[in-house]
Structure 1
Amino acid sequence: MTMFDRVKEISKKRGLTLAQLNEKVGFKHNVIYSWKTKTPSVDKVKAVADVLNVSVDYLLGKTDDNSTSMKPKQVDITDDDYIMTYQGKPIPPEDMEYIKRILNGGKD
Protein backbone atom coordinates (compact mmCIF):
# COMPACT_ATOMS: atom_id res chain seq x y z
CA MET A 1 0.00 0.00 0.00
CA THR A 2 1.42 3.42 -0.94
CA MET A 3 1.54 6.42 1.36
CA PHE A 4 -1.21 8.04 -0.68
CA ASP A 5 -3.38 4.93 -0.17
CA ARG A 6 -2.74 5.00 3.58
CA VAL A 7 -3.64 8.68 3.81
CA LYS A 8 -6.80 8.09 1.77
CA GLU A 9 -7.83 5.09 3.89
CA ILE A 10 -7.26 6.69 7.29
CA SER A 11 -8.92 9.94 6.12
CA LYS A 12 -12.03 8.00 5.18
CA LYS A 13 -12.02 6.30 8.59
CA ARG A 14 -11.81 9.73 10.21
CA GLY A 15 -14.74 10.99 8.16
CA LEU A 16 -12.71 13.31 5.94
CA THR A 17 -12.39 13.55 2.20
CA LEU A 18 -8.90 14.20 0.87
CA ALA A 19 -10.02 17.71 -0.10
CA GLN A 20 -11.16 18.36 3.49
CA LEU A 21 -7.90 16.96 4.86
CA ASN A 22 -5.92 19.10 2.41
CA GLU A 23 -7.78 22.19 3.65
CA LYS A 24 -7.53 21.23 7.33
CA VAL A 25 -3.75 20.82 7.06
CA GLY A 26 -3.51 24.17 5.27
CA PHE A 27 -2.06 22.94 2.00
CA LYS A 28 -2.62 24.55 -1.37
CA HIS A 29 -5.22 23.00 -3.67
CA ASN A 30 -4.79 19.24 -4.33
CA VAL A 31 -1.38 18.86 -2.67
CA ILE A 32 -2.29 15.48 -1.18
CA TYR A 33 -3.56 14.21 -4.55
CA SER A 34 -0.13 15.00 -6.01
CA TRP A 35 1.34 12.38 -3.67
CA LYS A 36 0.16 9.73 -6.11
CA THR A 37 3.15 10.61 -8.28
CA LYS A 38 5.42 12.82 -6.13
CA THR A 39 7.19 12.25 -2.83
CA PRO A 40 6.15 14.86 -0.26
CA SER A 41 8.47 16.60 2.16
CA VAL A 42 8.82 15.24 5.68
CA ASP A 43 7.15 18.37 7.06
CA LYS A 44 4.06 17.78 4.95
CA VAL A 45 3.84 14.11 5.94
CA LYS A 46 4.16 15.12 9.61
CA ALA A 47 1.42 17.73 9.25
CA VAL A 48 -0.97 15.16 7.75
CA ALA A 49 -0.05 12.58 10.41
CA ASP A 50 -0.80 15.13 13.14
CA VAL A 51 -4.23 15.98 11.71
CA LEU A 52 -5.10 12.30 11.22
CA ASN A 53 -3.62 11.49 14.65
CA VAL A 54 -1.44 8.65 13.34
CA SER A 55 2.31 8.18 13.33
CA VAL A 56 4.52 9.22 10.44
CA ASP A 57 5.83 5.64 10.44
CA TYR A 58 2.33 4.38 9.65
CA LEU A 59 1.94 6.75 6.71
CA LEU A 60 5.39 5.78 5.42
CA GLY A 61 4.54 2.08 5.64
CA LYS A 62 7.14 1.31 8.31
CA THR A 63 4.41 -0.10 10.56
CA ASP A 64 0.92 -1.43 10.04
CA ASP A 65 -0.19 -0.12 13.42
CA ASN A 66 -2.43 2.83 12.63
CA SER A 67 -3.23 3.54 16.25
CA THR A 68 -2.94 7.12 17.26
CA SER A 69 0.40 8.75 17.75
CA MET A 70 1.99 8.72 21.18
CA LYS A 71 1.12 12.30 22.00
CA PRO A 72 -2.44 12.80 23.26
CA LYS A 73 -4.78 14.79 21.06
CA GLN A 74 -6.32 17.74 22.87
CA VAL A 75 -9.33 19.47 21.40
CA ASP A 76 -11.55 22.15 22.86
CA ILE A 77 -15.04 20.63 22.92
CA THR A 78 -16.50 23.97 21.83
CA ASP A 79 -14.29 24.12 18.71
CA ASP A 80 -16.56 23.45 15.72
CA ASP A 81 -13.58 22.84 13.41
CA TYR A 82 -13.22 19.31 14.82
CA ILE A 83 -15.56 16.41 14.20
CA MET A 84 -16.04 14.55 17.45
CA THR A 85 -16.65 10.84 17.02
CA TYR A 86 -17.51 7.85 19.17
CA GLN A 87 -16.75 4.38 17.84
CA GLY A 88 -15.94 5.93 14.46
CA LYS A 89 -19.31 7.69 14.09
CA PRO A 90 -19.85 11.46 14.43
CA ILE A 91 -21.53 12.52 17.67
CA PRO A 92 -24.87 14.21 16.89
CA PRO A 93 -25.11 17.90 17.88
CA GLU A 94 -27.83 17.25 20.48
CA ASP A 95 -25.61 14.65 22.18
CA MET A 96 -22.66 17.07 22.12
CA GLU A 97 -24.80 19.63 23.93
CA TYR A 98 -25.66 17.01 26.55
CA ILE A 99 -21.97 16.11 26.96
CA LYS A 100 -21.06 19.79 27.33
CA ARG A 101 -23.70 20.22 30.07
CA ILE A 102 -22.31 17.21 31.94
CA LEU A 103 -18.73 18.51 31.67
CA ASN A 104 -19.85 21.91 32.92
CA GLY A 105 -21.41 20.33 36.02
CA GLY A 106 -24.98 20.50 34.71
CA LYS A 107 -24.81 24.27 34.17
CA ASP A 108 -25.71 25.87 30.85
Structure 2
Amino acid sequence: MKHEKTAKIIKELCYKKNVSITKLLDSCGIRKSLIYDLEKRHYTPSAELLEIIADYFNCSVDYLLGRTDNPRINE
Protein backbone atom coordinates (compact mmCIF):
# COMPACT_ATOMS: atom_id res chain seq x y z
CA MET A 1 0.00 0.00 0.00
CA LYS A 2 1.33 3.40 -0.93
CA HIS A 3 0.88 6.23 1.52
CA GLU A 4 1.63 9.30 -0.55
CA LYS A 5 -2.01 10.28 -0.06
CA THR A 6 -1.63 10.09 3.72
CA ALA A 7 1.42 12.36 3.53
CA LYS A 8 -0.56 14.82 1.41
CA ILE A 9 -3.48 14.83 3.86
CA ILE A 10 -1.13 15.41 6.81
CA LYS A 11 0.49 18.32 4.97
CA GLU A 12 -2.94 19.80 4.17
CA LEU A 13 -4.04 19.50 7.80
CA CYS A 14 -0.87 21.25 8.94
CA TYR A 15 -1.51 24.05 6.45
CA LYS A 16 -5.17 24.42 7.48
CA LYS A 17 -4.28 24.45 11.19
CA ASN A 18 -1.35 26.81 10.58
CA VAL A 19 1.14 24.42 12.18
CA SER A 20 4.43 23.34 10.66
CA ILE A 21 5.08 19.70 9.92
CA THR A 22 8.10 19.90 12.23
CA LYS A 23 5.88 21.20 15.07
CA LEU A 24 3.39 18.38 14.49
CA LEU A 25 6.07 15.71 14.51
CA ASP A 26 7.83 17.19 17.56
CA SER A 27 4.56 17.51 19.49
CA CYS A 28 3.65 13.91 18.71
CA GLY A 29 7.11 12.47 19.34
CA ILE A 30 7.39 11.21 15.77
CA ARG A 31 10.63 11.05 13.82
CA LYS A 32 11.23 13.91 11.42
CA SER A 33 11.55 11.67 8.35
CA LEU A 34 7.93 10.48 8.48
CA ILE A 35 6.62 12.52 5.53
CA TYR A 36 9.63 11.62 3.38
CA ASP A 37 9.24 7.96 4.29
CA LEU A 38 5.54 8.01 3.40
CA GLU A 39 6.15 9.73 0.08
CA LYS A 40 9.39 8.18 -1.12
CA ARG A 41 9.99 4.96 0.76
CA HIS A 42 6.40 3.71 0.73
CA TYR A 43 6.54 3.34 4.49
CA THR A 44 3.45 1.83 6.10
CA PRO A 45 2.69 3.67 9.35
CA SER A 46 1.52 1.75 12.38
CA ALA A 47 -2.02 2.08 13.66
CA GLU A 48 -0.60 3.69 16.81
CA LEU A 49 1.23 6.36 14.81
CA LEU A 50 -1.89 7.15 12.79
CA GLU A 51 -3.94 7.38 15.99
CA ILE A 52 -1.46 9.87 17.47
CA ILE A 53 -1.68 12.11 14.40
CA ALA A 54 -5.48 11.75 14.20
CA ASP A 55 -5.78 12.73 17.87
CA TYR A 56 -3.53 15.75 17.28
CA PHE A 57 -5.82 16.98 14.50
CA ASN A 58 -9.04 15.66 16.08
CA CYS A 59 -9.88 13.70 12.95
CA SER A 60 -10.41 10.05 12.13
CA VAL A 61 -7.71 7.61 11.05
CA ASP A 62 -9.89 6.84 8.02
CA TYR A 63 -9.58 10.50 7.01
CA LEU A 64 -5.78 10.34 7.30
CA LEU A 65 -5.79 7.24 5.10
CA GLY A 66 -7.98 8.92 2.50
CA ARG A 67 -10.82 6.45 3.05
CA THR A 68 -13.32 9.24 3.71
CA ASP A 69 -13.60 12.92 2.87
CA ASN A 70 -15.14 13.66 6.27
CA PRO A 71 -12.46 14.51 8.83
CA ARG A 72 -14.94 14.37 11.71
CA ILE A 73 -14.99 11.40 14.01
CA ASN A 74 -18.20 9.32 14.18
CA GLU A 75 -20.18 11.30 11.63
Q: TM-score, normalised by structure 1?
A: 0.57
Q: Give the whole-Å Cα distance in 2 for the aligned partners of 1:19 and 1:60.
A: 20
Query: Structure with the greater relative contact order (CA < 8 A, sep ≥ 6): 1 or 2?
Result: 2
Unaligned runs of 5+ in 2: none
Residue from 24, 27, 35 that aligns with 2:27: 24
Correspondence for 1:45: 50
Q: How many residues align?
A: 69
SS at match of 1:35: helix
The structure richer in helix per residue is: 2
SS at match of 1:2: helix
The RMSD of aligned alpha carbons is: 1.6
Letter paired with 2:5:
T
SS at match of 2:18: coil
Which structure has the greater CA radius of gyration?
A: 1
